[in-house]
Amino acid sequence: MTDGTRALSAASLLGRPVRMRGIRLGRPSDVLLDRATMRVVGLEVTCGDDAQRFLPLAAARVHDDEIAVRSALLLLEGDDLAFYRRRGRLLSAMRGRGVTLAGRPVGVLRDVLLDAEGAVTLLEVETRDGRDPVRIRVPLDSTVAIADSPATAA
């Protein structure tokens, strides 16, 4: 997936253009995660013609300044996009949901950090330290849960 071994913020993928041999095809608008494994399956990409397409992460190479693809045909649309949406979780829909650690509330999800293969290893969670919000990183393991619906204000 990536050039390096450092953790990569899923949100940082949204700021990188998708290019084929230097030609800009579009920009990611969301990150799609597998529901069961919490691994990035791919990216929803808004293309130059304003169409939404799906880019399987396995078909892309993530660089610091772009997401490179070998062919524009790798950007799937229509039924293929709907197939992946039904089976995955969009990062945008997960943001703001409550996170618990061993059953105790920790805060709300803001981002996820990925390893070189696209697996989520850490959750970036916003919590309150007094009155000010603080972002902490929580290792993803079997004791961590993300709520099925957005967090409500306390």
Q: What is the DSSP string of 103-118?
A: TEEEEEEEEEEE-TTS
Asked whether the predicted pLDDT for residue 70 surpasses 70, the reply is yes
Same domain? For 121 and 51 the reply is no
Same domain? For 75 and 98 the reply is no
Same domain? For 108 and 38 the reply is no
The predicted model scores a pTM of 0.86
Residue 150 has a pLDDT of 77
Give the chain's domain count.
2
1 CB-near residues (< 8 Å, 6+ apart)? 40, 57, 58, 60, 61, 62, 114, 116, 117, 118
Same domain? For 80 and 109 the reply is no
Flag whether 2 is in a domain: no
Same domain? For 88 and 12 the reply is yes
Same domain? For 124 and 103 the reply is yes
Same domain? For 22 and 77 the reply is yes
101-131 pLDDT tens trace:
999 999 999 999 999 889 999 999 999 877 7
Flag whether 57 is in a domain: yes
Distance of CA 26 to the CA centre of its chain: 17
Flag whether 3 is in a domain: no
Same domain? For 24 and 84 the reply is yes
**CA–CA dist 51, 35 (Å, integer):** 25
Flag whether 146 is in a domain: yes
| Mean pLDDT estimate for the chain | 90
Same domain? For 80 and 47 the reply is yes
> Which residue range(s) make up the domain with 84?
8-92
Where residue 3 falls among pLDDT bands split at 50, 70, 90? low
Same domain? For 99 and 140 the reply is yes
Same domain? For 87 and 124 the reply is no
Where residue 154 falls among pLDDT bands split at 50, 70, 90? very low
Flag whether 20 is in a domain: yes
